[in-house]
Structures are given as C-alpha cells and as structure tokens.
Structure 1
Amino acid sequence: MPDVSGAPDTPPDIPAEGKRKVWFWSFLIAVGGFLFGFDTGVISGALLFIKVDFRLNAFEQGSVVSVLVLGAMAGALMAGRLADQIGRKRLIGLEGVVFLVGTLIAVLSTEYWMLMVARLVLGLAVGAASATVPPYLSEISLKSFRGRLLSLNQLMITVGILVAYMVNLAFAGTENWRAMIGMGAIPALVMIVSSLWILPESPAWLMAHGQVDRAHRFFSSLSDGATADRIIEARREERWEKEEEKETRQEQATRAGWRVLLTEGVRPALIVGLVLAAAQQFGGINTIIYYAPTIIEQTGLTASNAIFYSIAIGIINLLSAVAAVWLIERAGRRALLVFSFAVMTVTMALLGLSFVAHWDPLVSLVFMVLYIAGYGVGAGPVFWTLIGEIFPPRARAVGSGASTATNWVSNFIVTLVFLSVVQAIGEGQTFWIFAVISGLALLFSSRFVPETRNRDFPVIDQDLQTRFGRRPRGARSV
C-alpha cells in the first residue's frame, strides 16, 4: 500500500531507477546537513588561532562559538513557517545564499565584532537548514527506507564535521583560519545550484497548495502514471485532505501556526521532540565537537597535535553515523536511542574520572571516542529521524522547527558556558553533569519514545498516545 506520509512504499511499483532518483535528491538536500556539520566543526580548530589574532579571553572564545547557535535558534524558528509558505526547495536555495554571505563576512573579518556578525549569519543558515532538511527528506522518501533517508541528514552532518577537522589540519601549519572557514563557500554554492536546477519540490507541499498536477508529475517520474494516480488518491484519503473538509491544509496551517503544537493530539509528539532535542545537547556532545582540540590541548599537546588527534573523533563520528544508516531500519529507532544514551552515560562518567584522576591523555581520548561512537549510532541520527516521523502532517514543519530550535537553545547554553564552568569546577566535574543528564534521557526514552520503524503515522501516533496515558484514537490522524 502506498505510504501517504511521504512518497509511496511500493517496491513492485517503484523501480530501482525511481529509488535512485530519490537517493540522489536526498543527498543534495542533505548538503544542508553537511554545512551544518562543517560550520559547527570548523570553529574548533580555527578558534586556536582566532583567539591569538583577536586576543580573546575564555568568555569571548565561547561567544564566537555560541553566537552561531544563537543565530541557529532564530533560523530554526523561522524555517518552519517559511517552508510552508515558499516551499522546501526554494528555502534550501535561500539557505545556501545565507551560508555564502556568512562565509564571506567571516573570511573578511578584521575585528572581533565582524567575526561575531559572520557567525550569527551562518547560524541563521545552519538553524534553518537543520529544521528544513528532515521534513523535506521525509516528504520525498519511501517508507521502506525512510529511516535511512532521514538518518542521511545526521550522516552528512558528521561528514561535514570530519571534513572541517581535515581542513583545519591542512591549514594548521600556516595558522590560516580564514581559509579554514572559507572552504564552506563550496557546499553553499552546491545548495544554490541544486535548488535552482535539480531538486524537485516536496509533493506533500505541492498537494497542500493545490498543485496536484505537479505532485502527480513527481510521482510519475519515479514510476508511471497509474502508480501516481494510486498515490494521489491514497493521499486524498487523509483526514485533513478530504474533499469534504471546508479548510485546506494551507488554510489550517495559516490559521493555526505554532498553536497547532499545543493541541491535545500533538502535545505528546511535542514533548518527545523537545525533550530529546534538549537531552541531545545537554548530554555534552557539542562540547566535544566544538572544543575537542581545546580539551586535548589542555592535556599538554600542541595546537597542531590537538587538531590531529581530534580527527580521530571526527572519523569515529562518521563511522558510527554510517553504522546508524544500516542499523536504523534493522534495530529500530527506539532501541538505538536507549543503547546510545546508556553508552553516553557510562563513557561521559569515565571521561570525567580520567580528568579528575589525571590519567594519561590518550585514556581521555579513548573515552571521548567511545562517547562519540555511542552518540553517533543513536542519539545523533535518531533525533533527526524522529522529528520527521512523530508529528502529524499538518504540524510536521512547525514541529520540526520547534524541536530544532530547542536543540539550538540547548546547544547555545552549553557552548556559551562550558569553558567558564570548566574553569569554575574543573573538566571532570563538568563531564559528570553531562553523564547525569544522559542517564535521565535514558529513562525518558525507555518510557515515552515510540518505535517508528516501518510504521505509518497513525500507528506511530497510537503508540505515542498510549505511552503518555492517553486513549488511542484508532487510525485517524490529528
């Protein structure tokens, strides 16, 4: 039966060529995820030289990192409404333009405040991309590998981080932090070109805006006209797209806006999205991603060696994301999430102990790598996958935006105060705080997160409502 939550799940009807098209488009869409990773990761090495050029203290270093997160919060909040108004495809192109502008300002910065402006602009693009990519991928995907397509976002984030680390290493000898950041202009141009000439518009968005003919052409390009007819008919059967409904989906979204997230039926999904968004960050992941070279440098290694060893973290991050793409359709989202938070809890506690007990720096590095592996196989990709699956169609864009914005708020708080907290109470004690939060996230996930693997939205919603003690509403969507 067709998958009405996105593109169809009909292996006999969708030939290999059609599936290859979906994968190709998905990789181009996920370039937004790549830039998310690159612009958040590149500052880790660049900061070692920026702080010298601009004579930055600990708070100013934290602000250069965290101001991007501040912009990302705003970008994520705006993206949901913009995606509904102008479409996913156009918004991807607009995000590419903003990425390019922010990169150019950063490269040309001569003072601290200019660099802050550049990072803020980059943050707007990063946040918007992080909120746009998951629903876009969900709406063009096939149910049979929807999880893999959605986890592609996290995979590209990790690729972006690793590439950033390698770029940092390449320019570390010359201390050219401008070149490190400037390399981000290349994928930004890819986003712009893809949006203008390659990517299709989301069929869900087209149907919501009355452009059924264009949606039909999208589905026909994957298979044939007869299959497209069946898919369109199946999508019409959704409650809020029935002909007898007085309001169209577009009118509902315009009227409800963010208020739809507070309705009784959407609230459980919102709670899961917001809690996982916060837990992912307060578990400490970006203190490792952003400050890995700084942390390693504090063990006594030189800046170049610190960047070199941080590449190990980037490689493990990438390999675990690749493993997640394979596992997410086999082990399921929920099992990976529970396993991930368990590993993060244990390894972060041991990392803290390694600093308190003054163990060898390589021991600390091992715990960092194991922590990254645990995060990368579960909490990283599963969060981005779930926010594309747990919200009802009419709340998907704004739900993804709200969850992503919360993720960035949490990210901002952690990255802004991390170095200051370390100075106040020590590295080990700070990492123990992250361990406790990861443990609480483990308990929450075990109780409230539903399994979404190979399920249509009505079944996912029934499971979610039951976990929150609400009476299941049968197969009807919100």
Structure 2
Amino acid sequence: MSEASTAGSASAANQVQIPTKGRRTIWAWAFVIATGGFLFGFDTGVISGALLFIKTDFHLNSFEQGTVVSVLLLGAMAGALGSGRIADPIGRRKTFALEGLVFLVGTALAVFATGYPMLLVARVVLGLAVGAASATVPTYLGEIAPAQLRGRVLTLNQLMITIGIMVAYLINVAFSGSENWRGMFAVGTVPALVIIVGALLLLPESPGWLLARGQMEQARRVYAGVVGDHVGARLVQEREHQREQERARNAAEDQQVGWRGLFSAAVRPALLVGITLAAVQQFGGINTIIYYAPTIMEKTGLTASNSIFYSVAIGIINLVMTIVALWVVGRVARRRLLLFSMAAMLVTLGVLGLSFVAGWSSELSLVVMVLYIASFAVGMGPLFWVLIGEIFPPYARATGSSAATAVNWTSNFVVSLVFLTVVNAIGLGQTFWVFAAICAFALWFIGRYVPETKDREFPAIDADLQSRFGRPAEADQARSV
C-alpha cells in the first residue's frame, strides 16, 4: 500500500460525519456490548467479600480458599483462547449471546452450590464466560465504532469493568450483615440477561465481520443505520477496497489466517506488543489490590469489617479515574497517556512499598494505594483493551485479541496465586518494589515499541508499528502523525 493510499484511506474515514442519531445508536450498542466488561469486573470482584462467608459455610482451608479465587482465572484463560475460534466462524453477535448464556449458567451454579466441588465448577464456568467476554468485547467494540469514536468506545469496556468491580464491593457490603454470599452472586443474573436479550434484540452483527465474509448488503445496512444510506454505501465500497489491498499484501507475504497467522512476519510485531502489554498490566500488581485489598489493609492493623469498608474507597477511585480516562482518551495521544500512567504507577508502587517497610499508618498506606489505582485507571487499565482492538490487522483481530487476553489472564492467575506466598517470603513492601521494577521495564517497552493509534486507520497504525520493529515502513510519515 502506498503512502498516498494509506493517508487517503485514513483521511476519507475521518471525514465521515456521524449525525447525532447515529452517535446515539453507536453508544447504545456499545453500552450493551460493554455489559460483558461489567460482568468481567463483577465476577472477579464479588469473591473478595463472598469468600469471608463461604470459607465458614463450607469449612475451607487456605488452599481451598485460594483455589476458589484463582480457578476462575484458569477458566478465563481457556475462554479467552477459545473465543476467537468461535467469534470468527459464527460472528461477534452470536458469540456474545452465547457468553451471556454461560454467565447465566455459572451464576446459577454458584448461587445453588451445595459444597466446595460444585462451587469450583461454578467458578470455572464463570471464568470461561469472563475470559471469552474479555476477548470478544474489545474486538466487537472496535469493529462497530468509526475511528473518531473508537478510542472512547473501547475505553467504555474498562469503565464497565471498574463499575462491575465497584458494584461487587457495594454488594459485598450490602449482604455482609446477613452473611448471604449466595445473594452476592445472584446479582450477576441481571447483567447476564441484559447481554442475552440485547444480543438477540438490539445489537447488529459487526460490519467488519460481515465484510470479511462478503456480506456486503448486510454491512451496508449496519452502516446506513448510523450514517445514512448514501454514506453507508460509500463506506462499504471504501472498506472493500481496503480489504482488497490487504488481501493482495497478505498474498504477497504468504500470510496465514488463524493461530499460525499470528506468527507471520507482518503480524508478529502486533502480537509482541499485545502480549507484552497484557503481561505487564497484570505483573504491575493491579489485581493483587483488587483481589486482596481487605487482606492487605488487615496487615496495617484494621479489623476485617473495616478492611472491607476501606476496599470500597479503592473501588470508588478506580471508577472515578476510569471515567476521567473515558474523557481523556479521545483527546490525548494514546502513547503519551500510557507513558504517563506507567511512570505514575512506578513512582506510587515505590512509595507504597516504602509505606509498608517503614510502618506508616493505615490511612497513609491507603492514600498511596489509591494514588496507584488512579495511575492505573487513567491509562494502563483502559488503554490495554483499546490497543488490542486497534493494532491487529482485521483478518487476525479476533485471534490476536484472544491471544493477548489469554496472556493477560495467565499473568493474572500467576500473580494472584503467588502474591501471598511472595509476601510471606520477602515482605509486603518488598513485593510492591518487585512490581515497581516491572513497571520500569514496561515504561521502556512502551516508549520503544508501542505505536500511536489515536484517530488513525489500521494502515497508518501498522506502518508505525512495523517501523518500530525494524520492518520497512509503508509510510515513513506514519510515526509523525
């Protein structure tokens, strides 16, 4: 693809004017799709409070308690890996409806669990749904949103994840007085039903998926519902022209579609960026605080009930800063925001480690913890999900998103499994310093290899990415856009 065609394609796409009604339609679709992100957050967060009462009812030892938390992450790995194989042949919409059904089944199993084995099965089923949704939602959102809305629409996924975590914390507090852990899980049936009903009655199929399958008229109707018949027909023609160019380039480079295609020379840079960001997002320590906030706060001398209450403050700041990110991500360059976020995480983790080593008060430790959460939520939290919906070529987007998400869940599992063991071995403060060192590496990696994606179509993003990995750039000007 020539420089002129690359710039022309991006310019044409960005010149499309979306009427107010069309924007409202896109946001309505996006909110329904992002309900998958809400359940992602809810089902990973609700266990922090429910476990306090489950361990008594089912007489769980420490190992069994750990498996109840971490087995969801094993299910999520499998769900993330499998979702791409399902979403490509049957479409994003049907896959999303199936994920809602799996959420519903897993929630029912948890609510009616009669013992530890059944509860484990429930958590695995919920994990399958969480992992599948975490891969499908960014892909689906990225394909229904035009370039000028794509960043904010993709950030909505992280916003809904944090809302889900926040709601889980509040539900934990609401049901803690009655010790009704089954009621905590049961709340998840409502968003699961929203997913199923929304997918069946409201959502369209992704126009990107329709075009890839040659279903031109169906894609035109989806576009027409947003920008009108005339512009919709023009967009279909432009997208098909871009796809023809991509097919020609793929044939020239002998690219493979599917899992093997991720390791082709053209896709490998996107894969390396995706899986590296997936790993450092988790090894930066975020979910040790999400999952173990009450446990961490107990180490400062607080009672169990006060520790649960303090965790709500973490949920609130996570939500507030993600809302800030939703506004900022559409206005600030992605790389700049990501670099700022990672630098702030590095500093706050260093200070947080010092707070525990030096024995600061619980209030001061909480303040630093909140600043760390804010640093993550305004950048690294949402932007990982934004980027994996933007950096992969269309023919590898679902599979690439699945691979990156699977690495994210694998890293999540490893960190959550070994966190308390590492704390017992080297100390809580020193463990946070290890996370800080990982953030330092991430800061270097982002500065060197992550491309800018804001307001850019895929050809320009890909040219930037390829040049950063030393491959011949198709548009030398891409990195300066």
Q: TM-score range by the shorter chain?
A: over 0.9
1:400 and 1:455 map into 2 onto residues whose CA distance is 19
* Equivalent residue, structure 2, for 1:91: 95
- What amino acid sits opposite 1:59 in the alignment? F
The yes-or-no answer on 1:422 pairing with 2:433 is no
Cα 1:244–1:39 change in 2 (3 A) is closer
Cα 1:199–1:3 change in 2 (3 A) is farther
Whether the 8 Å CA contact 1:4–1:231 is kept in 2: the answer is no
Q: Comparing 303-312 with 148-157, which one deviates more in the overlay?
A: 303-312
1:2 and 1:219 map into 2 onto residues whose CA distance is 22
Determine helix, strand or coil for the equivalent of 2:258.
helix
Which consecutive residues of structure 1, in runs of 5 or more, have no partner in the other structure?
A: none
* Equivalent residue, structure 2, for 1:149: 153
Whether the 8 Å CA contact 2:211–2:240 is kept in 1: the answer is no
The yes-or-no answer on 1:67 pairing with 2:71 is yes
How far residue 3 of structure 1 moved from its aligned partner, in angstroms, is 10
Aligned pairs, number: 469
Cα 1:3–1:103 change in 2 (3 A) is farther
- In percent, how many aligned pairs have the same letter? 61
- What amino acid sits opposite 1:207 in the alignment? L
1:246 and 1:420 map into 2 onto residues whose CA distance is 47
Determine helix, strand or coil for the equivalent of 1:257.
coil
Q: Which residue, 91, 96, 101 being the options, matches 2:105?
A: 101
1:394 and 1:148 map into 2 onto residues whose CA distance is 23
1:364 and 1:452 map into 2 onto residues whose CA distance is 36
1:302 and 1:263 map into 2 onto residues whose CA distance is 54
Determine helix, strand or coil for the equivalent of 1:238.
helix
* Equivalent residue, structure 2, for 1:229: 233
Counterparts of 1:219-298 in structure 2 under 5 Å?
219-240=223-244, 256-298=257-299
- C-alpha deviations, 1:157-190, integer Å up to 9, x for none? 0010101110011011112111111111110010
- What amino acid sits opposite 1:371 in the alignment? Y
* Equivalent residue, structure 1, for 2:389: 388
Cα 1:4–1:51 change in 2 (3 A) is farther
Q: Tell me the TM-score normalized by structure 1.
A: 0.94
The yes-or-no answer on 1:451 pairing with 2:452 is yes
Cα 1:433–1:242 change in 2 (3 A) is closer
Whether the 8 Å CA contact 2:257–2:396 is kept in 1: the answer is no
How far residue 4 of structure 1 moved from its aligned partner, in angstroms, is 7.2
- What amino acid sits opposite 2:36 in the alignment? G
1:421 and 1:246 map into 2 onto residues whose CA distance is 46
How far residue 55 of structure 1 moved from its aligned partner, in angstroms, is 3.0
The yes-or-no answer on 1:44 pairing with 2:13 is no
Whether the 8 Å CA contact 2:40–2:133 is kept in 1: the answer is yes
Cα 1:97–1:4 change in 2 (3 A) is farther
2:68 and 2:445 map into 1 onto residues whose CA distance is 33
1:299 and 1:149 map into 2 onto residues whose CA distance is 39
Cα 1:34–1:468 change in 2 (3 A) is same
Q: Comparing 262-271 with 350-359, which one deviates more in the overlay?
A: 350-359
Determine helix, strand or coil for the equivalent of 2:360.
coil
Cα 1:350–1:56 change in 2 (3 A) is farther
- C-alpha deviations, 1:327-373, integer Å up to 9, x for none? 11222211111111111111112111211222111111111101100
* Equivalent residue, structure 1, for 2:440: 439
Q: Tell me the TM-score normalized by structure 2.
A: 0.93
How far residue 244 of structure 1 moved from its aligned partner, in angstroms, is 8.3
- What amino acid sits opposite 1:54 in the alignment? F
How far residue 112 of structure 1 moved from its aligned partner, in angstroms, is 1.5
Determine helix, strand or coil for the equivalent of 1:237.
helix
* Equivalent residue, structure 1, for 2:340: 339
How far residue 11 of structure 1 moved from its aligned partner, in angstroms, is 4.7
Q: Which residue, 146, 165, 168 being the options, matches 2:169?
A: 165
- What amino acid sits opposite 1:408 in the alignment? W
* Equivalent residue, structure 1, for 2:37: 33
Whether the 8 Å CA contact 2:75–2:128 is kept in 1: the answer is yes
Whether the 8 Å CA contact 1:58–1:419 is kept in 2: the answer is no
How far residue 383 of structure 1 moved from its aligned partner, in angstroms, is 0.3
Cα 1:177–1:228 change in 2 (3 A) is same
How far residue 418 of structure 1 moved from its aligned partner, in angstroms, is 1.2
- What amino acid sits opposite 1:348 in the alignment? L
- What amino acid sits opposite 2:458 in the alignment? F
* Equivalent residue, structure 1, for 2:192: 188
- What amino acid sits opposite 1:60 in the alignment? E
How far residue 243 of structure 1 moved from its aligned partner, in angstroms, is 9.3
Determine helix, strand or coil for the equivalent of 1:471.
coil
How far residue 9 of structure 1 moved from its aligned partner, in angstroms, is 3.9
Whether the 8 Å CA contact 2:7–2:460 is kept in 1: the answer is no
